[in-house]
């Protein structure tokens, strides 16, 4: 598999993250600026979100970034952690 294709499966840019959760890219960027979505990963100049983390975040009800980070700290990957 080509490396960039594999990266796209693991991480999404703002457009891909927005599509994944079903909002516009503009709304996604606003939510990011307001700290309401998980923190992105920075690779060089690229700003990406972990697809696996976004899936866990959605399953947890989409809490704001602060609450999400506390939850991830306590629960790790989130498996088996209720609320």
- Residue 77: what pLDDT? 62
- Domain chopping of the chain, boundaries: 3-75
67 band by pLDDT with thresholds 50, 70 and 90: very high
Q: What is the pLDDT of residues 23-65, one digit of tens each?
A: 999 999 999 999 999 999 999 999 999 999 999 999 999 999 9
Q: Is 82 helix (H, G, I), strand (E, B) or coil?
A: coil
- Using a 10 angstrom Cβ sphere, with 0-12 exposed, 13-18 middle and 19 or more buried, the burial of residue 33 is exposed
> H or E element: which one contains 27?
helix 25-33
pLDDT over threshold 90, residue 80? no
pTM, full prediction: 0.81
pLDDT, residue 9, reads 76
pLDDT, mean of residues 4-31:
89
Which pLDDT belongs to residue 5?
A: 56
């Amino acid at each position: 598999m080509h490396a960039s294709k594999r990266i796209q499966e693991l991480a999404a840019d703002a457009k891909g993250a927005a599509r994944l959760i079903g909002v516009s890219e503009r709304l996604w960027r606003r939510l990011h600026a307001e700290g309401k979505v998980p923190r992105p990963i920075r690779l060089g100049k690229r700003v990406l979100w972990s697809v696996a983390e976004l899936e866990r975040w959605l399953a947890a009800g989409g809490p704001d970034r602060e609450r999400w980070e506390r939850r991830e700290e306590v629960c790790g990957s989130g498996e088996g952690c209720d609320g």
